Chains A and B, each alone.
Chain A
Amino acid sequence: MGSTNSTLLKIPNVEVLMQETGFSPAHIIRLHDRFKALDKEGRGHLCPHDFGAIKELAMNPIGDRIIGAFFSPGKETVDFHTFVKILAHFRPVDKDRPKEPNSPEPINSRSNKLKFAFQLYDQDKDGKISRDELLQVLRAMLGMQVTDEQLESIADRTIQEADLDRDDTISFEEFRKSLEKINIDHKMSIRFLR
C-alpha cells in the first residue's frame, strides 16, 4: 500500500480527480501507468501522434474521431486530468449512488455518455448534427462498396427518422430521444473501469 500511496501523491490534484470521476485509487494508478506508457517522450502530456501510435486505433473506422475527442478545440495536448476525465465517461453507471439534488451530474451519467457520442458526430460543435456531418460518419463506417447516392439516401432517411422539428439537422435532444430504447449504460461502459 505504501508504494501505491506514493504514486498517488506524485499526481497533482489527485483527490479532486478521484472525486470528480469516481475512479478508485487503483484505477487512477493504472491509468497513470497507461498514460506514461503512451507518453513515450515523457513530456507529461499526450499529442495526437501518441494516440496515432496505438495501432489498433488505425483499424477502427472512427478511431481518428475518437482521438480528436480527447483534445479540446484549439488545444493540441492532453494532460493526465483531461485524459482521466474523458475516460471517466466510460465507467459503468453506479446504480447505488444516492441522488443528491445539489451535486453535479456524474461524468458517467447516461446523459453525459450520450453527449460524448454526440460530440463525435458534431465536429463543428454547433450543437447540431448536420446532414454533412452525418454523411461523413456514414462514409467512415460503411464499406467502400456503398456508393455516394446510397450513402446520401441512408443519411436522408436517418435524419427523417430522428429530426422532429424538421430543420434538417439533429439536435442533442432529438439524438437523445431517438436512442431511448438503447441501453446506453451497457453499450458505452467498459467493465474494467468500474
Chain B
Amino acid sequence: SKLSSVFSLSLSLYPVIELNHHVISVVPESGLLIILGFILGGIVWGADKAQTFKLLPPTFFYYLLPQIILDASYFMPNKLFFSNLGSILIYAIFGTCWNAATVGLSLWGCYEAGVMGNLDIGLLQFLLFGSLIAAVDPVAVIAVFEEVHVNEVLFILVFGESLLNDGVTVVLYNVFDAFVALGGPRIDAEEIFKGIFSFVVVAFGGSFLGVVFAVLLSLLTRCTKHIQIIEAGFVFVVGYLAYLTADMLSLSAILSVTFCGICCQKYVNANMDEKSVTTVRHAMKVLANGSETMIFVFLGITAIDTEIWVWNTGFILLTLLFVFIYRIIGVFLLTWMLNKFRLVPIEVIDQVVMSYGGLRGAVAYGLAAMLDKDKIPEKNLIISTTLIVVYFTVILQGITMKPLVQWLKVKRAAHADLKLIEKLNNRAFDHILSAVEDICGRIGDNWWTRGWNRFEENYISWLLMKPKARKNRDYLFSIFHKLNLEDAVNYVSEGERQGSLAFIRSDEVANVDFKKQFGSEFTDVMPDIMVDMSNYELGIENFSVTSIVKDTIPSVSLDIHGKDRKNVADDINAHHLLQQHLYRSRKNHRHKFSRSHFSINQSEDEVQEIFQRTMRSRLESFKSAKMGVNPAKKITKHHKKDLTHKVKDFHDASFTWIAQLYKGSVTIKMNPVFLPAMDSPTHSSLPWLMETDAVAPSQRAQWRLLWTPNRLRRLAPMRVSTCSTDSFLMADLEEHEEKPQTDHEEEIFQSGPPKKHSCRKFH
C-alpha cells in the first residue's frame, strides 16, 4: 500500500512537471523527480517524525526494476547492438572491473593514509563498496540521454554497457560479500579462482536462460492465433518469469531479462496480431515510465531520514572524486585499445560524453541497502555515500550533460544561412553516402553475419515464426506487393472513368497547372505550350470547372507581373519547402530509443513512399524498354499506352522485378525469358542506360511468352501472396486458359524448412 500511495502521488504530480517544458529541457526529468522525492520525504517526515516510506531492496529489485529492463531490451535496436557487441562487452566487463578495483583500492589507500579518520572498515569492504558503486546504471542513463541526442553508436555503447555490466556487478558484489564473510586470511588463490568462475557461470548462465525464455515466448506467440486477446500478456509474464527464474538460480537476473527481450522482439512482433503488438508497446512504456518515476521519487524520499545519514567528509568527497576520475581514465584507456580493432573509431568527443555519462543510480543504492549490517558496520556510511553519488551524477551531471554536448559539437553554419543549393547538396550527400555504404556492405556485413542471417532465416525463423508471418516478414516485399495492387486498381478505375489514361493526382485540384489546361484550349494561340502537351493526355472533366473559367488569358499576364512581387516570398517559401519535404536520409532518421515515444512511424511512411517511387520508376523504365517507347524527359506521369498493355506489363515487369530483387536459383533464369524475344538490345533496367529507339515485339508475342505452361511453373512460386489472384489477372488469363497455381505455393510454405530447389524468394 505504501508503494501504491507513492505511485499515485508521484504520478499525479507527473503532469505538473510535464507542463513546464522549459524546466524539463534544463533539468532532466530524473533530477526533478528526485527533488520531488525530497519534498515528499519532507512531508512524510514532518508528519511521522520518522521515514516510514522506504525503498526496500526487495521492492526495488522485484517490483520496480524488471519492467524497466524489459522495456529497454524489447525496444533495443538489435542490429546496432550486435554490431557493437564487442565494444560493449569490453566496456561492461573490463570497464566495470577497472572502476571497482581502482575506486576500492584508492579509497583504501586514502583510508590507510588517515584522511578519513577512524572507521571500522577494511580492504575487502572497500572493494565491496567499489564494486557496488562501479556500475553504470541503465535507468539513469536512459533518463538523461533521453534529453540529449547523441549519435547512435555512442548511445548504444553507453546503454549496452549499462545493461550488460549487471553481470559483472552481481558477481563482484557476491564475491566480495562472501569474502567479507570469510574474513581476510582465508582468501587464497582458490577463492579467487572460484570468483572468476562464478562470473562466467552467472553471466553466461543468465544470458542463456534469457535466450531460453525468449524461445519459449516466441513459440507461445506462434500458437496464439485463437487467443489473440491475451497474447500481449505473455510477453510480460514470460519476461518477468525470466527475471525471477534467474534470480532464483543465483544467476544474473538483469542479463536474463535483457537477452529475453532482445531475442524475442523480432519473433513476437511478427507473430502477434497488430493490435497486440501495439498493446504490448504501450503497456511496456507505461510500466517502465511508472517504475522509473517511482524509483527516482523513492531515491529522493530516502534522503529525508536522519537514521541513515553518516557524514564523513573525506570518504564522501574522495568517493565522488575517484568515481569521476577513474571513469574518465577507464573509458579513454579502453577506447584507445578498442580503436585499434574497430572499423569506425570512437572519437574523442564521444569518449568525453561516454565518461561523463557514467551515471550511477538506483541499482547501486539497492545493492548498498542490501548489505548486512553485522558484517559491514559502516553500512550507513556506505548508503549515505551511495546516495550522494547518485544525486551528484543524476542531478548535476544530468543538468550539465546537454550544455556539455552542445558546447563540444563542431559549430556548423546556421541552417538558415545556407543557400538552397547547399541545403540540397547536403542532403544529396547524405543519400549518396548511405547508398555507397550499402554498396560497400557497411560495417557489419561479412561472412559471419551473412552466414548467421541465412541460418536464422532458414531454421530459427521457421521454428519460431508463424508461417504467415514468415511470408510477410519481408517488409519491402509487402510494400511492393501493395504497390502492385494499388497501382493496378488505380489505373483501371481512372481509365474506366475517363476512357483514356491520365494519371492525375486527385488532391491537386487547388493547384492546377495552367499549362495543362491551356494546352487543349489555346493550342493555336500558344504553340510553344503545345510542345509540352504532346505527352499529356487530358481529361478535362477532372479539372474543377471554376478554375478553367477563371483562368483565362488575363491571368497569364498577371502571373508575369506577379513573379517580381513574389520574389522574396518565393525565397522563404523555397527554403521552407526544402526543409519540410526533403526526404530524410538514414543519418537523419535514427532509430532512437526513447522512454516516452516511438519515433518510428514518420520515417516508415517516407521510406514507403521512396520505395514505391523507386520501384515505380524502375518498372516504368523497364516497361518502356520493352515497348520501345521514349520515356518522357520531363517530369510527367502521363503515358501513352492504353490500359490493357499497362496492366499486363505491370504484372510481367513486376515479376521480373521480384525476380531481380530476390534471386534464387530458379529465378535467375527469369530475366533472360524476357530478353530473347525482344529485338531491342536493351536489357538494363535503369532509365538512363536505355537506348530508346528499340523495336518493340508485338504485344501478343510478349504475352504468349509469359504464360506458356513451362514458364508458368517457374513463375508460380514467385507469386508469393495468395491475395494476388486479383480480378485483372484472372480476367486476362481466362483468354489463355492458364491459371496460376496458387495452391502450389501454399504447399511450399507449409512443408517444413524450405529445401534448396524450391526458390528462396527472399534472398
Binding site for B on A (CB under 8 A): 30-31, 33-34, 37-38, 40-41, 47-49, 51-68, 71, 76, 87, 90, 117, 120, 123, 132, 135-151, 153-154, 157-158, 161-162, 178-179, 181-182, 187-188, 190-193
A117–B689 touching, CB < 8 Å: no
Q: Note all chain B residues with C-beta closer than 8 A to A59.
A: 476, 607, 610-611, 614
Query: B582 contacts which of A120, A141, A190 (Cβ < 8 Å)?
Result: A141
A135–B635 touching, CB < 8 Å: yes
Query: B684 contacts which of A37, A58, A76 (Cβ < 8 Å)?
Result: A76
Give the docked Cα–Cα distance between A96 and B431 (Å).
28
Query: B438 contacts which of A47, A60, A62, A144 (Cβ < 8 Å)?
Result: A60
A187–B429 touching, CB < 8 Å: yes
**How does the 8 Å CB contact mask read for B655-666 relative to A, with 1 for contact and 0 for none?**
000001111000
Give the docked Cα–Cα distance between A190 and B581 (Å).
26
**If A139-B635, A154-B574, A187-B429 touch, does A62 touch B436 (CB 8 Å cutoff)?**
no
Q: Note all chain A residues with C-beta closer than 8 A to B610.
A: 59-61
**If A62-B431, A161-B420, A178-B419 touch, does A132 touch B633 (CB 8 Å cutoff)?**
yes
Give the docked Cα–Cα distance between A58 and B476 (Å).
9
Q: Report, nearest first, the 8 A-B pairs whose CB atoms are least far apart.
A: A187-B429, A192-B343, A56-B438, A143-B581, A66-B435, A49-B660, A34-B441, A154-B574
**How does the 8 Å CB contact mask read for B605-622 relative to A, with 1 for contact and 0 for none?**
011011101110110000
A87–B420 touching, CB < 8 Å: no
B535 adjacent to chain A (CB < 8 Å)? no
A51–B424 touching, CB < 8 Å: no
Q: Note all chain B residues with C-beta closer than 8 A to A157.
A: 420, 570-571, 574
**If A41-B668, A58-B615 touch, does A192 touch B443 (CB 8 Å cutoff)?**
yes
Query: A64 contacts which of B430, B583, B609, B617 (Cβ < 8 Å)?
Result: B617
B570–A48 touching, CB < 8 Å: no
Q: Note all chain B residues with C-beta closer than 8 A to A47.
A: 684
Query: B440 contacts which of A34, A40, A143 (Cβ < 8 Å)?
Result: A34
Give the docked Cα–Cα distance between A66 and B429 (Å).
11
Q: Note all chain B residues with C-beta closer than 8 A to A143.
A: 581-583, 606, 609
Give the docked Cα–Cα distance between A30 and B573 (Å).
46
Would you list 29 pairs from A and B whose C-beta atoms are within 8 A, ordered by A residue? Answer: A30-B446, A31-B440, A34-B441, A38-B439, A51-B439, A52-B661, A54-B438, A54-B439, A59-B610, A60-B610, A62-B432, A63-B431, A63-B435, A65-B688, A66-B432, A76-B684, A87-B439, A120-B428, A137-B428, A139-B635, A142-B577, A153-B573, A154-B577, A158-B574, A179-B421, A182-B422, A182-B429, A187-B426, A192-B344
Q: Note all chain B residues with C-beta closer than 8 A to A151.
A: 635
B456 adjacent to chain A (CB < 8 Å)? no
Give the docked Cα–Cα distance between A149 and B570 (Å).
11
Q: Note all chain A residues with C-beta closer than 8 A to B486.
A: none
Minimum Cβ distance to chain A for residue B627 (Å): 19
Q: Note all chain B residues with C-beta closer than 8 A to A53.
A: 660-663
Chain B interface SS verdict (over half): helix
B686–A123 touching, CB < 8 Å: no
**How does the 8 Å CB contact mask read for B424-456 relative to A, with 1 for contact and 0 for none?**
111111111111111111010111001000000
Give the docked Cα–Cα distance between A37 and B418 (Å).
41
Minimum Cβ distance to chain B for residue A180 (Å): 9
Binding site for A on B (CB under 8 A): 343-345, 413, 418-422, 424-441, 443, 445-447, 450, 476, 508, 511, 513, 570-571, 573-574, 577-578, 581-583, 606-607, 609-611, 613-615, 617-618, 633-635, 660-663, 668, 671, 683-689
A37–B428 touching, CB < 8 Å: no
Residue of B nearest to A75 (CB): B689
Give the docked Cα–Cα distance between A136 and B687 (Å).
12
Residue of B nearest to A193 (CB): B440
Q: Note all chain A residues with C-beta closer than 8 A to B438.
A: 54, 56-57, 60
Q: Note all chain A residues with C-beta closer than 8 A to B683.
A: 76
A142–B583 touching, CB < 8 Å: yes
B614–A158 touching, CB < 8 Å: no
Q: Note all chain A residues with C-beta closer than 8 A to B418.
A: 181
Residue of A nearest to B607 (CB): A59
Give the docked Cα–Cα distance between A41 and B660 (Å).
12
Minimum Cβ distance to chain B for residue A173 (Å): 14
**If A135-B635, A142-B582 touch, does A61 touch B613 (CB 8 Å cutoff)?**
yes
Q: Note all chain B residues with C-beta closer than 8 A to A30.
A: 446
Give the docked Cα–Cα distance between A6 and B754 (Å).
36
Residue of B nearest to A138 (CB): B424
**If A41-B668, A187-B426 touch, does A64 touch B618 (CB 8 Å cutoff)?**
yes
Give the docked Cα–Cα distance between A125 and B432 (Å).
19
Additional pairs, 7, CB under 8 Å, beyond known A149-B513, A187-B430: A47-B684, A54-B438, A61-B583, A62-B428, A140-B613, A142-B577, A150-B577
B684–A48 touching, CB < 8 Å: yes
**If A63-B614, A157-B420 touch, does A141 touch B431 (CB 8 Å cutoff)?**
yes
Minimum Cβ distance to chain B for residue A35 (Å): 10
Among A37, A149, A157, the one with the most B-chain Cβ atoms within 10 Å of its Cβ is A157
A178–B508 touching, CB < 8 Å: no
Give the docked Cα–Cα distance between A132 and B428 (Å).
17
Q: Note all chain B residues with C-beta closer than 8 A to A147.
A: 508, 511
B614–A40 touching, CB < 8 Å: no
Give the docked Cα–Cα distance between A51 and B476 (Å).
16
Q: Note all chain A residues with C-beta closer than 8 A to B436.
A: 66, 87, 90, 190
Give the docked Cα–Cα distance between A54 and B82 (Å).
21
Residue of B nearest to A150 (CB): B577
Minimum Cβ distance to chain B for residue A88 (Å): 11
Give the docked Cα–Cα distance between A159 and B582 (Å).
18
Minimum Cβ distance to chain A for residue B672 (Å): 12
B660–A71 touching, CB < 8 Å: no
Minimum Cβ distance to chain A for residue B573 (Å): 7
Query: B614 contacts which of A58, A132, A136 (Cβ < 8 Å)?
Result: A58
Minimum Cβ distance to chain B for residue A24 (Å): 12
**If A141-B428, A153-B574, A158-B421 touch, does A57 touch B439 (CB 8 Å cutoff)?**
yes
Give the docked Cα–Cα distance between A158 and B583 (Å).
18
Q: Note all chain A residues with C-beta closer than 8 A to B570.
A: 153, 157
Residue of B nearest to A64 (CB): B686
Query: A136 contacts which of B345, B421, B613, B635 (Cβ < 8 Å)?
Result: B635
A161–B344 touching, CB < 8 Å: no
Q: Note all chain A residues with C-beta closer than 8 A to B419.
A: 161-162, 178
B440–A190 touching, CB < 8 Å: yes
Give the docked Cα–Cα distance between A150 and B476 (Å).
30
Give the docked Cα–Cα distance between A66 and B432 (Å).
7
Residue of A nearest to B606 (CB): A143
Query: A190 contacts which of B433, B508, B613, B633 (Cβ < 8 Å)?
Result: B433
Query: A120 contacts which of B432, B571, B634, B685 (Cβ < 8 Å)?
Result: B432
Give the docked Cα–Cα distance between A66 and B436 (Å).
8
Minimum Cβ distance to chain A for residue B692 (Å): 13
Residue of B nearest to A58 (CB): B614
Q: Note all chain B residues with C-beta closer than 8 A to A182.
A: 422, 425-426, 429
B424–A40 touching, CB < 8 Å: no
Among A41, A52, A61, A141, the one with the most B-chain Cβ atoms within 10 Å of its Cβ is A61
Q: Note all chain B residues with C-beta closer than 8 A to A158.
A: 420-421, 424, 574
B432–A33 touching, CB < 8 Å: no
A148–B574 touching, CB < 8 Å: no
Q: Note all chain A residues with C-beta closer than 8 A to B611.
A: 58-59
Q: Note all chain B residues with C-beta closer than 8 A to A117.
A: 425, 428-429, 432
Q: Note all chain A residues with C-beta closer than 8 A to B581.
A: 142-143, 145-146
Minimum Cβ distance to chain B for residue A172 (Å): 13
Give the docked Cα–Cα distance between A138 and B424 (Å).
8
Residue of B nearest to A47 (CB): B684
Minimum Cβ distance to chain A for residue B368 (Å): 42
A56–B434 touching, CB < 8 Å: yes
Give the docked Cα–Cα distance between A146 and B580 (Å).
10
Residue of A nearest to B423 (CB): A158
A146–B633 touching, CB < 8 Å: no
A191–B344 touching, CB < 8 Å: yes
B345–A191 touching, CB < 8 Å: yes
A68–B432 touching, CB < 8 Å: no
